[in-house]
């Protein structure tokens, strides 16, 4: 774990190095993924079945690729009423927040009499990739599926690997709650390729969303352009801004809540209090002694964690904007005033009673967020990822006479005579 202070002469160099630190996987998988995608496109279901047998130890036939309604029923029956109620609470809140995002169509007539508009329509089909095994997160099913459902997407196809034939009951329960019934027991780059290009058993989709390993991320990168994708997600990250009024144990646990995701996650505390910095560093070690995922969290904290001591909150705001973190917690009495000055963050959590973890599950805003400083130009998943805009124009003769001559002049300046002529002929000028 790094300890930095803005008063140190080497701070800028150390901070710049931290910004440039690559935490993504160094595994080179592009050639392997290219081969898998080509094979799926060439052999379809046969290739999909071969890769499922090879990577997931599952011998399937094409008619067993799709998980049946009876299997989903059986999985849901294994989930306790308490967990089903928790899923329902989360789903209701996620749905409500995303429904509030839905945009309105635009339709107005300007001063020249030209009628202009923009309409929103949902995508036809979306593919949802859900990791299997230890990385199965039912909350991500809700976060990816509910916005698509709210946006009005008619078809949501979900793929989830089932290594050794093991189905995660809570993942299927989350899918059921989100209204997803088209679910296939396949994963990896081969699942992404099947969703993008289609096979005899899996119809192609228009956009693919959801997290995955290095092979899934690379496959999404390679199919982008043929289909849309949400993002290429990197390791999770959090920045916590806290002063001497913060509880050191709360801060330590909030940092470790990100560190336990994986060894490449990053947790950073920015504070103006040396006493808090020291207390949090000690509290992290105390919590690691009892944390079930301590090995992962410790590796993350040791390799990528940082505590940065600042002199003023002006300095802190500047550092946060340069970090552009996925998650930002502001544990300060004037959290709203500080947040007003933050330009770049995937999601912000304001005040001591709002830990980032509540946003992972039940707050309502989406937890699929930009990582690796991409919050400088990207946003979290929303209904807008499942909608597209179409603009439209309607003009009568008077409107065309009002604006047409300017178009004719611009077309001539660009050397596009047919463009100008298509307007001029209607105005009796050609």
Residues noted as catalytic: 326-327
Q: Describe the strand order of the beta sheet including 228-229 as a list of residue ranges.
A: 182-184, 155-159, 125-129, 207-209, 228-229
Q: Give the C-alpha separation, 238 to 323, whole Å.
A: 10
Q: Which residues pair with 392 in a beta bridge?
A: 117
Query: Using an 8 Å Cβ cutoff, are 91 and 177 in contact?
Result: yes
Grouping H, G, I as helix, E, B as strand and the rest as coil, residue 283 is: helix
Q: Which sign, positive or negative, has the C-alpha torsion 313, 315, 317, 323?
A: negative
Buried b (16+ CB within 10 A) or exposed e, 132-171: beeebbbbbbbbbbbbbbbbebeebbbbbbbeeeebbbbb
Within a 10 A sphere around the Cβ of 405, how many other Cβ atoms?
15
Within a 10 A sphere around the Cβ of 292, how many other Cβ atoms?
8
Q: How far is CA 121 from CA 29, 146, 380, 392, in A?
A: 36, 16, 20, 13
Within a 10 A sphere around the Cβ of 290, how many other Cβ atoms?
7
Nearest Cα to 147, choosing from 179, 187, 104?
179
Within a 10 A sphere around the Cβ of 6, how many other Cβ atoms?
18
Q: Which sign, positive or negative, has the C-alpha torsion 224, 372, 210, 377?
A: negative
């Amino acid at each position: 774990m790094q300890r930095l202070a803005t008063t140190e002469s080497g701070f800028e160099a150390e901070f710049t190095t931290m910004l440039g630190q690559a935490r993504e996987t160094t595994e080179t998988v592009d050639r392997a993924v290219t081969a898998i995608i080509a094979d799926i496109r060439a052999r379809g279901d046969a290739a999909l079945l071969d890769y499922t047998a090879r990577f997931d130890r599952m011998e399937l036939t094409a008619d067993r690729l799709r998980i049946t309604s009876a299997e989903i029923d059986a999985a849901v029956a294994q989930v306790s009423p308490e967990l089903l109620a928790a899923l329902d609470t989360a789903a209701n809140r996620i749905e409500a927040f995303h429904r509030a995002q839905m945009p309105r169509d635009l339709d107005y007539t300007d001063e020249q009499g030209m009628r202009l508009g923009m309409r929103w329509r949902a995508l036809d089909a979306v593919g949802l990739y859900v990791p299997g095994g230890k990385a199965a997160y039912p909350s991500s099913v809700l976060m990816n599926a509910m916005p698509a459902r709210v946006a009005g997407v008619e078809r949501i196809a979900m793929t989830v690997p089932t290594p050794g034939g093991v189905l995660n009951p809570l993942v299927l329960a989350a899918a059921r709650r989100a209204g997803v019934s088209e679910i296939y027991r396949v994963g990896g780059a081969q699942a992404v390729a099947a969703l993008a290009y289609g096979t005899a058993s899996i119809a192609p989709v228009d956009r693919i969303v959801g997290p995955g390993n290095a092979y899934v991320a690379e496959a999404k990168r390679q199919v982008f352009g043929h289909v849309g994708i949400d993002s290429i997600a990197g390791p999770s990250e959090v920045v916590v801004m806290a002063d001497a009024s913060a509880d050191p144990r709360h801060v330590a646990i909030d940092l470790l809540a990100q560190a336990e995701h994986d060894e490449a996650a990053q947790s950073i505390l920015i504070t103006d209090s040396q006493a808090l910095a020291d207390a949090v560093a000690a509290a992290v070690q105390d919590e690691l002694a009892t944390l079930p995922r301590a090995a992962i969290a410790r590796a993350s904290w040791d390799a990528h964690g940082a505590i940065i001591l600042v002199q003023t909150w002006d300095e802190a705001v500047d550092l946060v904007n340069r970090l552009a973190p996925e998650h930002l917690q502001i544990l300060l009495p004037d959290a709203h005033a500080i947040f007003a000055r933050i330009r770049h963050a995937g999601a912000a959590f304001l005040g001591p009673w709002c830990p980032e973890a509540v946003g992972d599950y039940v707050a309502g805003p989406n937890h699929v967020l930009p990582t690796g400083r991409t919050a400088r130009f990207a946003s979290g998943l929303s209904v807008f990822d499942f909608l597209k805009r179409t603009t439209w124009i309607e003009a009568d003769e008077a409107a065309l006479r009002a604006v047409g001559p300017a178009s004719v002049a611009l077309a001539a300046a660009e050397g596009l005579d047919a463009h100008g002529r298509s307007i001029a002929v209607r105005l009796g000028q050609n």
